[in-house]
Structure 1
Amino acid sequence: MLSVKDALKNQILSLDIDMCEPDAENAFFVANLDEVYNQHFRWKSLLPRIEPFYAVKCNPDPLLLRLLASLGTGFDCASKVEIQTILDIGVDPSKIIYANPCKQASFVRYAAEHNVKMMTFDNSDELYKIKRYFPDAQLVLRILTDDTMSLCKLGLKFGASLDSTEALLQTARKLDLNVIGVSFHVGSGCYDENAFIDAVHRARFVFDQASELGFNLHLLDVGGGFSHSRNCDGITFEKIAAILGPEIDSLFPPNVRVIAEPGRYYAAPAFTIATHIIARRTVLSNGDVQTLDMDTVLNDETQTRDDHSGYMYYINDGVYGAFNCILFDHQVVHPKVLFKKGIFTFDEILDEPVYNCSIWGPTCDSIDCISTVSSLPVLLPGDWLYFEEMGAYTICAASQFNGFKKSNIIYTATNPEVFAILYDAYF
């Protein structure tokens, strides 16, 4: 199969913008499944004790899920549909944790019918619900942690404080429910590795508390929040693993099973999106927007002018589509030039002047802004931009507002093992 570069190039060069069918020049993803494979063995190398249970909500792409299932990961599901999706690809129910502390009653019944026993809770009402619909469930108490160093602070919605855990355990004991462990989540997009250490110590406190009440806990779920970045200046997976692994070993004996719920760690680096510049407006130095005739646009005479301060570029995916991560997930995206004046420029540094610009999505809504301030060389309608690390919380929440279609996915891999796994999964 092709590299990401070749997949992008082949798709773009196959298009004749003047003659193609409607939608042919839509934005599209290239999913490099080699990245998923590499991330998995990076995990197994650095955190060998912790079993990854991929967070399906992050990106439920079917090929991604099949690859992870083939690699032996478990799955963190938050709904009946997610559970059904994972069961349908042949995953054993024991490899699923229903990690939603507040569940719909019919979904609890569905989990019971399909023997998906592990599920989380953080309140007493949930315990009574589970007692009614799935009394044989294996329960995991989700506790509140310090998530102030994360982009998405999940503690606003979920997690039992340490002041309430004893009462919850007593209720579970009264209802004769099987509590098997403790879970936590330091928040999505955590940028302080020490948050995991504080959370592990809180979990140890609840383990001891449960032991005094007669429970024999044997599962620790350290949740998500794992960085996929290899940027040494920020938090990296290596930094997290270097302190989290030893801390778990020091606090929990080997008989305690440890799992985690990584999502963006696997999905983010695997997906690149290519977007077509569908329109452009020139912003004059006085702030006015200039309308140019077609000959001027095509000849790009504005490069020689000194009375403009920048450009507004409009591309064919936006915050109602794959770039919803900007609104919902606090992501900052970085545009790069992919195709300019008929020349393919992937992964190249262009020796050209750059200008201030803003980048906008295709809908008629003014909030559909992808970047308020970027620096790019002068581009024309018909050129292409690309954005890397776009696999997490993008496709899964995209809509078709204003009638714009969701961006398609082209899959690629150069690793023969990845290709073989996917071939076996489908044929």
Structure 2
Amino acid sequence: MPSGNPEIQYYDGDELNIRRVIEQSDLQALDQALNICDLSSVERKHRLWQKLLPRIKPYYAVKCNDDPVVVKLLAELGAGFDCASKNELKLVLGFDVSPERIIFANPCRPVSHLEYARDNQVANGTVDNEFEVYKLHKHYANSNLIVRFKSEAKEAQCPLGDKFGCDADVDAAALMLLAKSLDLKVTGTSFHVGSGCSELEAYDRAIKKANNLFKYGGLLGYDMDFLDIGGGFPGSDDEKFARIAESVNTSVKRHFPDERVQIIAEPGRFFVAAAYTLVCKIHAKREVRNESGKLDTVMYYLNDGVYGSFNCILYDHQVVTAEHYLDETNVLPQLKSLIWGPSCDAFDKISENLFLPNMNRGDLLGFRNMGAYTMPIASPFNGFDVPKTLYFRAI
């Protein structure tokens, strides 16, 4: 957690005006890139979730963005949390979140992390193979086992099935039988269709499989009452989210009409992607001309790159868009442009074949929807600082 309480600036209106923030702040003096975080965007997303998915409680995926200011806000809003490690558990528990509002949703946990969960009474945790079942039997026998099965979307930004999830038709039943023989509690099932899901039918397929496993658990004598439908919800397309929500609600009503079953999800990017705009400064410029001497491409070198916030291009398959702040009318001539990060590595390329006005050293570029899978992975490679963050909230 950061030392002290970060300053939060307040604004009038329904949406934070990034251009106005830039005009009113002395960003030209900064060599460091800057995140502009609109906390009210997170609040609006929470209200939208409650409106469109009223039965399903969101457990925020901390790995997506572990900014303590955001985690604290979501804790105050009453969200639950999906944690993957001891340090994520520490962060969330530090905001007085009860253990019941946490799921330890990493199916393969180090023993010391498992023991920390046990000592702090975080009972809900996922499991997807027999070795982890034996590990739980030895180190946390009174935990609640939530069997994670594989059920991937045909279209997803980041598929996860190669790493996590057992076969729903064969392996899941075998794990439940093993848990029964070891006198362990199986309280529910879990799946993840893939981060950034684009296939509406994916959730219905998975929820139907979960229902079959609940029926099998009942035959074994388990009173299963916990369903985790994972993540995959978009963070910058509310219309797409509404379509997914409609599909999920229909499937839940069909397969899990009994409201005694607690249903949760693990949204990450949904809450934070749109809340962050990254503002970078051009610190160098280069013009590339063709053989006849005509200007072909303008190269710009920024103070953040793929080893920093733009790691999302490599790891999250994100396509970023640049927004200049030279002229609100957008009538300036556009030139073919290529954007580089600050490091000495030629792999540090942010975007190419863009068309931007002719800019100069010291000018600023903004990149919206930069709140998901950016900061937690950023590193100060080559000695370049990771961005600092300014926080804003509507009055």
Q: What is the TM-score with the length of structure 1 in the denominator?
A: 0.86
Correspondent of 2:183 among 165, 172, 176: 176
Correspondent of 1:257 among 231, 242, 262: 262
SS of match in other structure, 1:155? coil
In the alignment, which residue of structure 2 is the partner of 1:392? Answer: 372
**Hey, what's the Cα distance between the residues in 2 that align with 1:8 and 1:185?**
39
Residue 197 of structure 1: how far off its partner (Å): 1.1
Cα deviation, 1:340-390, whole Å, max 9, x if unaligned, reads 3xxxx4xx3411221111110000001100002211111111111000010
Residue 326 of structure 1: how far off its partner (Å): 0.4
SS of match in other structure, 1:70? helix
Correspondent of 2:140 among 125, 128, 134: 134
Correspondent of 1:334 among 289, 302, 321: 321
In the alignment, which residue of structure 1 is the partner of 2:279? Answer: 274
Correspondences of 1:93-112 after superposition (within 5 Å): 93-112=99-118
Matching of residue 164 in structure 1 with residue 171 in structure 2: yes
Matching of residue 413 in structure 1 with residue 356 in structure 2: no
Residue 179 of structure 1: how far off its partner (Å): 0.7
**Hey, what's the Cα distance between the residues in 2 that align with 1:84 and 1:26?**
29
**Hey, what's the Cα distance between the residues in 1 that align with 2:62 and 2:224?**
26
Note if contact 1:4-1:30 (Cα within 8 Å) is conserved in structure 2: no
Matching of residue 145 in structure 1 with residue 159 in structure 2: no
Note if contact 2:313-2:319 (Cα within 8 Å) is conserved in structure 1: yes
**Hey, what's the Cα distance between the residues in 1 that align with 2:144 and 2:81?**
16
Matching of residue 310 in structure 1 with residue 297 in structure 2: yes
SS of match in other structure, 2:263? strand
In the alignment, which residue of structure 2 is the partner of 1:8? Answer: 22
Q: What is the TM-score with the length of structure 2 in the denominator?
A: 0.93
Aligned residues: 379
In the alignment, which residue of structure 2 is the partner of 1:324? Answer: 311
Cα deviation, 1:39-91, whole Å, max 9, x if unaligned, reads 00000000000000000000011110111000000000000000011011111
**Hey, what's the Cα distance between the residues in 2 that align with 1:175 and 1:363?**
53
**Gapped runs of 5+ residues in structure 1?**
288-305, 417-427
Matching of residue 206 in structure 1 with residue 193 in structure 2: no
In the alignment, which residue of structure 2 is the partner of 1:297? Answer: none
**Gapped runs of 5+ residues in structure 2?**
1-9
**Greater Cα offset, 314-323 or 142-151:** 142-151
**Hey, what's the Cα distance between the residues in 2 that align with 1:38 and 1:207?**
34
**Hey, what's the Cα distance between the residues in 2 that align with 1:368 and 1:191?**
28
Cα deviation, 1:256-277, whole Å, max 9, x if unaligned, reads 1000000000010100010001
Correspondent of 2:36 among 11, 26, 30: 30
Structure showing greater radius of gyration is 1
**Hey, what's the Cα distance between the residues in 2 that align with 1:193 and 1:212?**
31
Amino acid of the structure 2 residue aligned with 1:213: L
**Hey, what's the Cα distance between the residues in 1 that align with 2:97 and 2:21?**
31
Note if contact 1:172-1:179 (Cα within 8 Å) is conserved in structure 2: yes
Residue 310 of structure 1: how far off its partner (Å): 1.6
Note if contact 1:7-1:412 (Cα within 8 Å) is conserved in structure 2: no
**Hey, what's the Cα distance between the residues in 2 that align with 1:285 and 1:265?**
44
Q: 1:231 to 1:238 in 2, by over 3 A?
A: closer
In the alignment, which residue of structure 1 is the partner of 2:61? Answer: 55
In the alignment, which residue of structure 1 is the partner of 2:353? Answer: 373
**Hey, what's the Cα distance between the residues in 1 that align with 2:69 and 2:291?**
50
In the alignment, which residue of structure 2 is the partner of 1:294? Answer: none
Cα deviation, 1:177-234, whole Å, max 9, x if unaligned, reads 11100010000111112111111111112111211222111011000000123375xx
Note if contact 1:31-1:270 (Cα within 8 Å) is conserved in structure 2: yes
Note if contact 1:360-1:368 (Cα within 8 Å) is conserved in structure 2: yes
Amino acid of the structure 1 residue aligned with 2:332: E
**Greater Cα offset, 203-212 or 92-101:** 203-212
Amino acid of the structure 2 residue aligned with 1:153: P
Q: 1:66 to 1:184 in 2, by over 3 A?
A: same
Residue 171 of structure 1: how far off its partner (Å): 0.2
**Hey, what's the Cα distance between the residues in 2 that align with 1:154 and 1:375?**
35
Note if contact 2:158-2:195 (Cα within 8 Å) is conserved in structure 1: yes
**Hey, what's the Cα distance between the residues in 2 that align with 1:206 and 1:187?**
20
In the alignment, which residue of structure 1 is the partner of 2:131? Answer: 125
SS of match in other structure, 2:298? strand
In the alignment, which residue of structure 2 is the partner of 1:303? Answer: none
**Hey, what's the Cα distance between the residues in 2 that align with 1:406 and 1:310?**
28
Note if contact 2:152-2:192 (Cα within 8 Å) is conserved in structure 1: no
Note if contact 1:7-1:410 (Cα within 8 Å) is conserved in structure 2: no
In the alignment, which residue of structure 1 is the partner of 2:82? Answer: 76
Correspondent of 1:401 among 381, 386, 394: 381
Amino acid of the structure 2 residue aligned with 1:389: N
**Hey, what's the Cα distance between the residues in 1 that align with 2:291 and 2:92?**
56
Note if contact 2:189-2:227 (Cα within 8 Å) is conserved in structure 1: yes
**Hey, what's the Cα distance between the residues in 2 that align with 1:38 and 1:193?**
23
In the alignment, which residue of structure 1 is the partner of 2:341? Answer: 361
Amino acid of the structure 2 residue aligned with 1:350: N
**Hey, what's the Cα distance between the residues in 2 that align with 1:216 and 1:9?**
59
Amino acid of the structure 2 residue aligned with 1:312: M
Amino acid of the structure 2 residue aligned with 1:226: F
The runs of at least 4 consecutive aligned structure 1 residues that moved more than 4 Å come to: none
SS of match in other structure, 1:156? coil
**Hey, what's the Cα distance between the residues in 1 that align with 2:237 and 2:177?**
44
**Hey, what's the Cα distance between the residues in 2 that align with 1:101 and 1:349?**
51
Q: 1:164 to 1:349 in 2, by over 3 A?
A: farther
Residue identity over aligned pairs, in percent, reads: 41
Note if contact 2:236-2:369 (Cα within 8 Å) is conserved in structure 1: no
Amino acid of the structure 1 residue aligned with 2:286: R
